[in-house]
Amino acid sequence: MLSHPAHLLAQGFGSGLSRIMPGTAGTLLSWLSYAVLTSRWPGVFTPAIWTLIIVAGFFIGIWACRITGRNLGIADHGSMVWDEIIAFWSVMVFLSPADLVTQCLAFFWFRVFDMMKPEPIRYFDRRFKGGFGVMWDDIVAAFYTLLLFALWRTLYPV
């Protein structure tokens, strides 16, 4: 992980090295970092700033995951979790402000979509390789999560 800056980022600062469900560990890091940064510095970590971080992080992630995948010999190595981090930050931004139950449900559904890869996530996962492919399928999983919440809020308005 420390042999190249791209590895440090792609492997989620070590969260992707978890022996048990590294994608879930990366998503937990995403959730924790979003919650801590947003609550500790709400005037700094605004939705607009998060959006900039997410967009920049997506493009930096393409680079980091491409290099890490190439160096590990597997294009979408299981230890690469930067894609989960960026995608779940986007879920949190769109759902904020959200209570703890909503955040837990978002975490659960994001992981379901990311692991099960329903179409077209599976299509993108098979067709797009390299850094872009690693990053893109998780963005689609985030979109599915947000779509589910939009439908839920439409059918059951608060």
pLDDT of residue 1: 65
Query: What does the pLDDT profile of the chain (158 residues) look like in tens digits?
Result: 678 999 999 999 999 999 999 999 999 999 999 999 999 999 999 999 999 999 999 999 999 999 999 999 998 999 999 999 999 999 999 999 999 999 999 999 999 999 999 999 889 888 898 999 999 999 999 999 999 999 999 998 87
Comparing CA positions, the residue from 40, 43, 38 lying closest to residue 95 is 38
Instruction: Let me know: does 86 contact 57? Beta carbons within 8 Å.
Output: yes
pLDDT of residue 2: 76
Tell me the one-letter amino acid at 51.
T
Structural domain count of the chain: 1
User: The whole model's pTM is what?
Assistant: 0.94
Phi, psi of 42 (to 5 degrees): -65, -30
pLDDT of residue 129: 87
Instruction: Let me know: does 106 contact 92? Beta carbons within 8 Å.
Output: yes
Distance of CA 151 to the CA centre of its chain: 21
Range of the domain at 97: 5-155
Instruction: Let me know: does 8 contact 1? Beta carbons within 8 Å.
Output: yes
Instruction: Let me know: does 130 contact 87? Beta carbons within 8 Å.
Output: no
